[in-house]
Each structure stands twice: as C-alpha cells, then as structure tokens.
Amino acid sequence: MTEITVLFQGSEFDFSSYKGVTGTINDWGFTDTSMAANILRSQYLGINKGAAKQQRLAAEGLKEVMDKYPNARVNLYAHSLGSMDGQVALASLEDSYLQRIDGAYLYEGPNTYPVLTDKQKQQVDKIKYKIFNYVDTNDLIPIGYPASGSEGVVGTLVRINSKQTGDWISQHMWGGYDYKAGYLNVQEADLQGYHLARVKQVQEQLELKRQSLSGLYQKVSAGGYTRTESIYMDSEQAMAFTASLSDVAAISVEAVMAFCDYGISKVSGKWAALLSQASLVPNALFLSEAEIVDALAQAGATKDTIETRVINELEEIRAKAVKIKEDFSALSASIADGIRKMTEADEGLAKEYQIWGSIQKTK
C-alpha cells in the first residue's frame, strides 16, 4: 500500500435510533461544547485545558493507521468536529509520521491551535503549507480564527467568499461555498498565502517522486538493467515530472484567474459611475451627457481608458493563463500517448513493460 486517505467524521446528528441519539448528545453536548469552551477560554483568558478526549483518541487512531501501512503516504480529509480531530491528530505526530503526510484538507471546524501544547504547535507548524483549513465566514461553527492571516492557526487558513443560505445547517454543510469559473472563490486577502502553500506542497511531492525514481534507478543499475527497465524508468520520470508541472500550472492559473476576475469586477461599471458623478458637479448641471463625455475626454478620461481597455487586457491575461494550463495538460497526454505507441509497436516490449510496471507498483 503506497497511499491511504484518512477521513474524520463530523458531529453525528441522528435522532432515529438510541445509538444515534447517544452519539449526537456525545458529539454536540460534550465534545463540541467542551472544545468550544476550551478554545475561547484559552484564547481570551489564557487558561488552556487542552483538547477533549475524542481528539486525543483521534490522534492515537491516526498513528495506528499509519503504523498499519508503514510505507504509505497519507492524505487527510475532515469536516466540523472531524476537523478538530484532524487538527489535534496532526499536531500529535512525531517527525517520522509528519514526513509521510502529503496533504490535509479541513473544512468548517473551530481553530484548535489555542488549546494545543507548545510541542504540538511546533510540530503542526512544520507542515503548515500542507494543511488547508477552509472556513466559510458566514458559518457559525468555525470559531477562534484570527481576523487576517494564518498566524495561530492549524495550517493555512483559506476563507471562502460564500453566499448566505439562510439556514445555518446548510451553511455549515458547504451550502454557501461559491465558485468562479470552476474555481473555489477564495477571499482576496487569503489568495496569495493559499497559492504559495499549494505550490510548495506540489514542489515537495515532485521532489519525493524524483527521489523515488532515483532510488529505483540506482537499484536497477547496480545489477545492470534491460531495455524495458530503462524505458520504464525514463517514462515514469517524465510522467511524474510533467504531472507535477501540470499541478503547479493549475495552481498558478487559479491565482491569475482570481486576480483577473477580481480586477474585472472592480473596473466594470466604473465609466457609468464616473459619468454619474460628473453630472452632479455644479458646472455640469446644464450640460448634456455628450458634452460631459467630451469634457472628460479632454482630461484623458474615456470609457476606453477607464474601463474597456483594462477589461480587455485582463481578459487577455486570463485567456493566456488558461492556454498555458491546457498546454501542460496536452504535454502530459502526449507523453502518455507516446509511451503507449512505443510499447504497442513492440509486442514483446509491451508485455515486459506491463510486467515491470506491475512489479514496481506492488513494492
């Protein structure tokens, strides 16, 4: 097993059975309430009572799973109470475990950083760029976060530009999450930190792939390697490299698109607003709209310079960014297709290549 995904469940909300009722009371009545009190007490009074029992059990559980699959890389996903479990569990890992975490994606949970021990804070900060803590600011549940930045937070704080759902349960269950052109609508203040963390995460994964392939090269070359083995290594290295570059390109495009979309939204309607303001100037009260437009043009202000030209430029930048992303995807597809055609042209090579690939995937 080379990769595992760990899921931490949110608070139970089930009154259809005795088990569901007891689970709901335990989660909401004891764990959530005590953790909320601990977070606020630590944050505002400086009295740290530590994490609740469930979070400590979650930490033990994560280690048990990682011990069961000692060669596996780990991705973690969690929501609400599960987010608190995940935060404390990650903070409780020693370095040997932290090195195996590829990414953690936490949604709509309170910030547990204030109740962590100094050692736990030190540990979890080591992988801050690999933990993404998503928060809808219209959700009532995620408490304890700073007004700006990710200081004093487990991971990188990613605030969402959300829409109001009118229902706190729906709001808490991702109902307010908004997307622009298929991309999560992240608040402008968090965009830079979010994308820098994503790029650093992808770069690390690229380096891990490189190290893994280098190790295979050394192992095989020590005893001499066949044409099939050499082709397999070269192709795997190329695929790993281009896949990671595609990831970096996608992240970069997200940043560029968000910048362009924000700029366009700010510029759109600016000319109409300027005309409206100009018409209220005392000297312009008796001028027609055409005369006001002419007067503004003499000062260098036209719809083209104020709005159209800027929007066109931003749209052009946006289109180029999307094209770059598409080019990277096409490159990856071309490499994969080239490998396929190469092996199909030689039936014997194809069989050996398939066997060699299967052997490596079982290691």
- At 15 the three-state DSSP class reads coil
Residue 359: predicted pLDDT: 46
Residue with tokens 């297709």: 337
List the beta bridge partners of residue 158: 134
What value does the CA radius of gyration of the chain take, rounded to a whole number of Å? 27
Residues in the chain with pLDDT values less than 70: 10-33, 180-182, 206, 209-249, 251-252, 255, 259, 284, 332, 335-336, 339-340, 342-363
C-alpha dist (Å) from residue 338 to 95, 133, 238, 263, 272 = 40, 39, 11, 41, 54
Closest to 256 (Cα-Cα) out of 172, 319, 312? 319
Cα torsion at 198, 180, 81, 87 (round to 10°)?
Answer: 10
Residue 336: predicted pLDDT: 66
Residue 233: predicted pLDDT: 58
Residue 352: predicted pLDDT: 52
**What sections of 187-288 are H helices per DSSP?**
188-222, 227-267, 270-279
Closest to 242 (Cα-Cα) out of 332, 133, 175, 139? 332
Number of DSSP helices (H) and strands (E) in the chain, helices first: 14, 7
Residue 13: predicted pLDDT: 59
User: Measured between alpha carbons, how far is 121 from 111 in angstroms, rounded to an integer?
Assistant: 12
**Can you state the angle between helices 81-91 and 53-68, rounded to 10 degrees?**
60
pTM score, whole prediction: 0.64
Token pair in block for residue 69: 């699959």
Which helix (H) or strand (E) segment is 23 a member of? helix 18-24
Largest Cα–Cα distance in the chain? 92
Q: Quick: pLDDT tens for 154-207.
A: 999 999 989 999 898 899 888 999 876 567 888 878 877 887 787 788 778 767
Residue 356: predicted pLDDT: 46
Residue 157: predicted pLDDT: 95
CB contact at 8 A, 308 and 274: no
C-alpha dist (Å) from residue 352 to 238, 240, 293, 337, 359 = 19, 21, 74, 18, 11
Which own/partner contact pairs does 332-338 have at CB distance under 8 Å and 24+ positions apart?
A: 332/239, 332/242, 332/243, 332/246, 335/235, 335/238, 335/239, 335/242, 336/239
